[in-house]
Amino acid sequence: MEDLNDCESTVFKDTLNKQIEFIRCRFSNIKSNRYLNDKMGCIGKKEDIVKHLNQGPAQNLIQTFFNYKTDKCSFCNCKKGENGVRQFERAHCNKFSRSDILNIAITDIYIDEQTPIIVGDILRIFIEKHECCPIYMLCNICHNKYDNTFNI
pLDDT at 152 over 60: no
pLDDT at 114 over 80: yes
Distance CA 94, CA 84 (A): 24
Return the closest-CA partner of residue 61 out of 97, 98, 37, 35. Answer: 35
Distance CA 87, CA 139 (A): 6
Query: Backbone phi, then psi, for 138, in 5-degree steps?
Result: -110, 150
Distance CA 96, CA 109 (A): 20
Mean pLDDT, rounded, of the chain: 92
Q: What is the structure's pLDDT at 1? A: 87
Locate the domains of the chain by residue range.
2-149
27-78 pLDDT tens trace: 999 888 899 999 999 999 999 999 999 989 999 998 889 887 889 999 999 9
- Give pTM, 2 decimals: 0.85
Q: What is the structure's pLDDT at 63? A: 86
Distance CA 134, CA 66 (A): 11
